Chains A and B, each alone.
Chain A
């Protein structure tokens, strides 16, 4: 199925090793889906700056590299992983894309909850999963999503049965360590909430050293009618790592989503978030934060597709940029013809702390219905000199004033996360970035 690596796949050296693995373990439909997705990837090729969707995000540093699938799931410095784990929570730990049972905490799951490695779920229950895998076509526009669909091996599989309310946080941790060679991983996760089910999920991508690797992640979330989800994707990775991720969330009638995306960055991060509001009365909050320093680049692309009437989506992305870092924000809201009485709001706010940093922001609306309320906007500014003087006149150094004001700038969106444990985790990931800005 996976033939000779052609030019567009030159940055991955040992794709062939996967072939045997897939044909042995996967059902026919999945092999077929993988083949179509790979063909799609090859047809699209790697994006360049000429592609509208990748205009501000040069991939040349990535494509110059040679990544390979790791043979082992080893990592160094695992002790510090404990900083991110909490006893009362459900943890799934993946190292270099592989599920590591001994570090995970999946004991005593309440009734109505299934959590396991996706590859395991696929081998046990592939007939049930087929529909979820086929919800989105193999003909993706984003080449990296197509590539993940072709190459994924493991990831989290979480199913919350209808009317099941799960109190503890589920924490999916992806730890990547490319210390010995430049590695690539394709984590793919699938989260299904039955009708009226409730859950809180945090997906973290971290690294414990400055090794070089590529994570190409795909997370699919399906929310049945009246379900509620708090979902966070948090990312603080090696300054030599590349992270390209896609999260697709499918919402049915009356479901409520509160999502948050934190990017404290790698050298290059691209997050795509696609939300489909496929029923009436849905509410979606999608907030995000990027805090960048050095020469980091974070690119957030969001798309909210209002397909039914009486839905609300609210989106606030904030960015703090320092040194020569770059931020890209592209947010699209589609309001389809049926989606009357849509209320959609989108705002991107940035603070530039240094002369050398840059933000390219592009909020977009495409409205085909006539009775809707949609607002969008973007701001790029600097810290207020009067505020800095006020703090300094109260004994606080300029550096500390900048830190305090930057922290103040993001306080409101952090407070919108309705879960203290998630907030705590994000604070930990943010801390190193906030400590160096001045």
Chain B
């Protein structure tokens, strides 16, 4: 469904990704671990289409409705409409824009893209509230501006709420576990697990094995210096927890 080949990318002429290869199939959960600065977050941003990064080599192929498309040729919003989702490590605050207005606009873009009817504000708020229950979020978030004055945990929950609303085929969660206390971690992880299906896939970027106790990965990859240097089953995360990264590089 999703295949990265020899992906190389740079920011301000500094190479960060130096040849990443990764294949993801429907129904799979992948975890990407690795020391700070190894390029994990960059990989997520390049897949989502962040304009600050320039891709210099490689392809990102994405298969949808039996058709292969080159993700790198698409605008950020087109990728999102085709089912690519990134949960931000640092969710952005948007003063003056109520969460419900933002999420309805995003949701209706998907409806439009799929040729479905758009949802009016009243129906959408109902729909939104059912999804918020999934993440144990208070109804008051509906009217509050996006991420403004949210605690760290609330911001991360809001990311997973967006995932629940947009229903992506490939979700990349960039350090969604960082800054979460144990209760919030459980709620967020439960939310993600409820969103797992046979026809979608999840890539978790994390520093900690802790998250992988709740969301069990099929594959664990270790990234170092812009490349994936090791890929194994879930037991690799335990080894990393135990031994660190030195033995891998």
Contacts and interface: CB of A to CB of B under 8 A. Distances in A.
B51 to A, nearest CB: 7
A385 interface: yes
B96 interface: yes
B49 interface: yes
Contact of B109 (A384, A396, A398, A411): A396
Contact of B94 (A385, A387, A395): A387
Nearest to A385: B51
A412 interface: yes
B15 interface: no
B48 A393 contact: yes
A393 B95 contact: no
A341 interface: no
A395 B102 contact: no
Interface string B63-98: 000000000000111001100011010011011110
Interface residues of A, number: 23
Contacts of A411: 95-97, 145
A405 B95 CA distance: 8
Interface in A379-418: 384-387, 389-398, 400, 404-405, 407-412
A391 B113 CA distance: 16
Contact of B96 (A394, A396, A398, A410): A410
Contacts of A393: 48-49, 76-77, 80, 85-86, 88
Interface in B1-59: 48-52
A392 B76 contact: yes
Contacts of A407: 96-97
A390 B81 contact: no
Nearest to B93: A387
Given A397-B109, A404-B97, A408-B96, 20 more contacts: A387-B92, A390-B92, A392-B75, A392-B80, A393-B76, A393-B77, A393-B85, A394-B102, A394-B103, A395-B80, A395-B106, A395-B109, A396-B106, A398-B75, A404-B101, A404-B102, A408-B145, A411-B95, A411-B97, A411-B145
B105 interface: yes
B91 A390 contact: yes
Interface of B: 48-52, 75-77, 80-81, 85-86, 88, 91-92, 94-97, 101-103, 105-106, 109-110, 113, 145, 162, 166
14 contacts: A385-B51, A387-B94, A389-B76, A390-B88, A390-B92, A392-B75, A393-B49, A393-B80, A393-B88, A394-B166, A396-B109, A404-B105, A411-B97, A412-B95
B62 to A, nearest CB: 15
Nearest to B103: A394
A407 B102 CA distance: 12
Nearest to A390: B92
A398 B97 contact: no
A187 B102 CA distance: 42
Contacts of A410: 96
Contact of B105 (A385, A389, A396, A398): A396
B106 A390 contact: no
Contacts of B51: 385, 389
Contacts of B113: 395
B77 A395 contact: yes
A411 B146 CA distance: 13
